[in-house]
Each structure stands twice: as C-alpha cells, then as structure tokens.
Amino acid sequence: MIRYALVLDGILVDVRPPSNQGEPKLLDGQIMRPPNGEWTVPLAAAVGFYPVVGVVRPPDTLTERYERSVTMVNGDPTETWTAVTKTQQEQDAEAAAAAEEANRLSVEQALGAAMGAMQNIIDNPPTNLAQAQTAIVLEARVLRRLIRLAVGDLDSDA
C-alpha cells in the first residue's frame, strides 16, 4: 500500500492518503474523485499528494529506539528515523523480558531433554528396582517442569 503526503508549494502539509470522497485539484480547485475509489500516483499528484519514500528503520540498540516521521528530503516526502534515548524504565523492562524469555527457553530445552529420556524409559522399560526408581524420579522432574511452564513460574528451579 502506498503511503501519501500532502505537499503544497514544496512544503509538507500532512501525511495521509487522499480522501476517497475527493480532494480539490491544484490547478482549478474542482473536486477530483478517484475512479473505483482507488487513487493512482498520477491522480494523487494532481491534488498534491505524493508517495512517501520509504527508508528502512534502523535496528534499536540497548539504549536507543527510533521514532518515525516524514520530512522533505530533496523535494520528496521521505521517512526519517530519529534516535531517541530509551528511558531507564524501558531498558529495565526490555532486560526483564529478555531474561524471562531466556529462562523460558531454558525450561523448554530441559523439558525436551527430559521428555526424550522418558520416552527412552517407555521404549526400554526398567528391568530392576534401581532403574525403576530412576525412572520415577525422572518422571517427577518432568511433571514439575511441565507445571512450572504451564503456570509461568520460570524463575523457580524447584
């Protein structure tokens, strides 16, 4: 979908698409409506709307995020990305979310390994009491991890 900006006499007035109800033509002020409700680039230009030149958003860093705006660059409405320093609260929230995700992945990985070990016990049933006890302990660990994963208690190692 094309993003448009209203540009009059080389000045960026607004960033919005032309209205499907019609826009006044630049030359004579008559209302122009797009056929079939779809503006083409040449029709939009006739009423002062030009496509916004897209610019790839820079990746956020640990301390900065980027805010989008549209400015005139070499006569064209162009996306501009401005670095904004993240607040300490934003940085703390991102660090907490990253730690929680790392912990969740760690639990899932351990759970996958335990499930594989349980499947091995099912495929090769214990033949003596020691093996059976080991299988029961392993099953209890898997169940505890499943419960932790289900209730979101990923900080506990119990």
Tokens standing for residue 39 = 């503006």
Residue that wins the pLDDT comparison between 51 and 103:
51
Query: Is 12 in a helix, a strand, or coil?
Result: strand
Query: Is 77 in a helix, a strand, or coil?
Result: strand
**What is the average pLDDT score of the chain?**
85
Whether residue 55 is predicted with pLDDT greater than 70 in this model: the reply is: yes
The ranges assigned to domains in the chain are 4-85, 88-151
* Percent of the chain whose predicted confidence (pLDDT) is above 70: 93
Instruction: Place 158 in a pLDDT band, splitting at 50, 70 and 90.
Output: low
pLDDT digit string, tens, across residues 65-112: 999 999 999 999 999 999 999 999 999 999 999 888 888 887 778 777
Residue that wins the pLDDT comparison between 97 and 34:
97
pTM: 0.59
Q: How many CB atoms lie within 10 A of CB 63?
A: 11
